């Protein structure tokens, strides 16, 4: 027997439909507003990079023109080559990459992984207390230890060499030790126990089981350290004095000084922006290539501990 809808049933269904359509419209408006705000913020963050790139292909007079010129004509693309070669940035890039960034990245990644493994996977007396002391060193600002470290390295005869910048990297970094320890603790202990039953020692367990499972975290550590070394200015400024030892940060500072001097080159500011664009490019490229691994390593760190 068919049941016909009464007028009362029909009137009760209309507000429900209207309510659902109102909710969907509200959600759409909320999403549009959210993405609009994100778009504005993203553009505001990328605007300095756009200005830096545009200024690199301008003449010196166009840089100071008001209102700003966003599409310079003619575009001086040769500024990149002229600025890089005129001020010997090939040598500065070699010093930064080969003598500073790569050694410190390798040293910090390996040493921090070893220390973090000891703090997370091996039980020994005083482990937690020593880990607390390790974290406490992060509270000491660099300005406090800068002078004592300089005196130590000067007495060792390391001043005016890359040793004060490279050797400490092979003793770990408290921040990276903490990050890797938290990541290591997310790995089930049963894997290590099974390897011990098969006769593997701690070094074999770490090298063959733990490290392959934490590639994303190790890449994050390496990327962070590479960025720190690539952009480091204060350390090389303190310990390096000869021009042939300068890194990119010191080279940029010298180029910037030519703008403030009375004998500045006619294209000093565009040259500065051109070199700054080239120096910034490797960091941006490295981040975009390792973006998925970078986000995964950061998001998974600290789940347990």
| Residue 7 pLDDT | 52
Each domain of the chain, given as residue ranges in start order, spans 86-300
Gap between the Cα atoms of 193 and 210, Å rounded = 12
Gap between the Cα atoms of 89 and 96, Å rounded = 10
Cβ–Cβ under 8 Å, residues 212 and 250 = no
| Residue 23 pLDDT | 60
Gap between the Cα atoms of 247 and 269, Å rounded = 20
| Residue 305 pLDDT | 43
DSSP states of 94-119 as a string?
Answer: HHHIIIIIHHHHHHHHHHHHHHHHHH
Neighbouring C-beta atoms of residue 58, cutoff 10 Å = 24
- Classify domain 86-300 at the CATH class level: mainly alpha
Distance, CA of 211 to chain centre: 21
Gap between the Cα atoms of 84 and 90, Å rounded = 7
CA proximity to 103, closest of 14, 166, 46: 166
Gap between the Cα atoms of 245 and 99, Å rounded = 9
Structure token pair of residue 270: 């565009």
Alpha-carbon distances of 166 from 116, 174, 231, 236, rounded to whole Å: 20, 16, 15, 11
Structure token pair of residue 174: 């408290």
Structure token pair of residue 152: 């130590």
- DSSP letter at 305 equals -
Gap between the Cα atoms of 208 and 220, Å rounded = 20
DSSP states of 78-98 as a string?
Answer: HHHHHHHHHTTHHHHHHHHII
- DSSP letter at 5 equals P
Question: The pTM is what?
Answer: 0.79
Backbone angles phi, psi at 72, to 5 degrees: -65, 145
Cβ–Cβ under 8 Å, residues 247 and 169 = no
Gap between the Cα atoms of 50 and 56, Å rounded = 10
| Residue 260 pLDDT | 56
| Residue 110 pLDDT | 94
- Contact partners, residue 239, CB within 8 Å, separation at least 6: 150, 153, 158, 159, 160, 161, 162, 164, 165
Cβ–Cβ under 8 Å, residues 105 and 222 = yes
Burial readout 172-197 (b: 16 or more C-beta within 10 A, e: otherwise): bbbbbbbbbbbbbbbbeeeebeebee
- Render each residue's pLDDT in the chain as its tens digit; 305 residues: 455 555 555 545 545 445 555 568 878 888 888 889 999 988 888 888 888 888 888 887 777 777 877 888 788 888 888 888 888 889 999 999 999 999 999 999 999 999 999 998 888 888 889 999 999 998 988 889 999 999 999 999 999 999 999 999 999 899 999 989 988 888 888 888 888 888 888 888 888 888 888 888 898 899 889 999 999 999 999 999 888 889 999 988 888 776 655 445 555 788 888 898 999 888 888 877 777 766 665 555 444 44
Q: In which element (H, E) is residue 48 found?
A: helix 7-56
- DSSP letter at 300 equals H
| Residue 98 pLDDT | 94
């Amino acid at each position: 027997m068919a049941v016909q809808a009464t007028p009362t049933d029909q009137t009760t269904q209309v507000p429900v439909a209207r309510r659902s359509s109102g909710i969907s419209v509200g959600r759409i408006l909320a999403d549009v507003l959210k993405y609009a705000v994100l778009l504005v913020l993203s553009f505001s963050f990328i605007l300095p990079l756009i200005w830096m790139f545009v200024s690199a292909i301008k003449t010196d007079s166009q840089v100071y023109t008001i209102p700003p010129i966003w599409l310079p004509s003619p575009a001086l693309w040769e500024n990149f080559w002229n600025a890089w070669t005129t001020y010997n940035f090939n040598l500065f890039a070699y010093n930064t990459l080969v003598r500073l960034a790569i050694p410190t990245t390798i040293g910090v990644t390996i040493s921090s992984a070893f220390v973090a493994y000891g703090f997370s996977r091996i039980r020994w007396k005083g482990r937690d207390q020593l880990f607390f002391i390790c974290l406490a060193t992060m509270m000491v600002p660099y300005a406090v230890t800068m002078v004592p470290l300089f005196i130590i390295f000067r007495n060792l005869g390391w001043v005016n060499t890359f040793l004060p910048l490279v050797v400490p990297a092979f003793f770990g970094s408290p921040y990276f030790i903490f990050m890797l320890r938290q990541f290591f603790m997310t790995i089930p202990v049963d894997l290590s126990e099974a390897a011990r039953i098969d006769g593997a020692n701690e070094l074999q367990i770490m090298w063959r089981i733990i490290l392959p499972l934490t590639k994303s975290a190790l890449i994050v550590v390496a990327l962070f350290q590479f960025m720190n070394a690539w952009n480091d200015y204060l350390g090389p400024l303190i310990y390096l004095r000869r021009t042939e030892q300068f890194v990119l940060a010191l080279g940029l500072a010298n180029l910037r000084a030519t703008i403030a001097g009375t004998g500045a080159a006619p294209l000093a500011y565009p040259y500065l922006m051109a070199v700054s664009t080239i120096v910034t490019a490797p960091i941006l490229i490295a981040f975009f290539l390792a973006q998925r691994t970078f986000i995964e390593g950061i998001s998974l760190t600290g789940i347990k501990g």
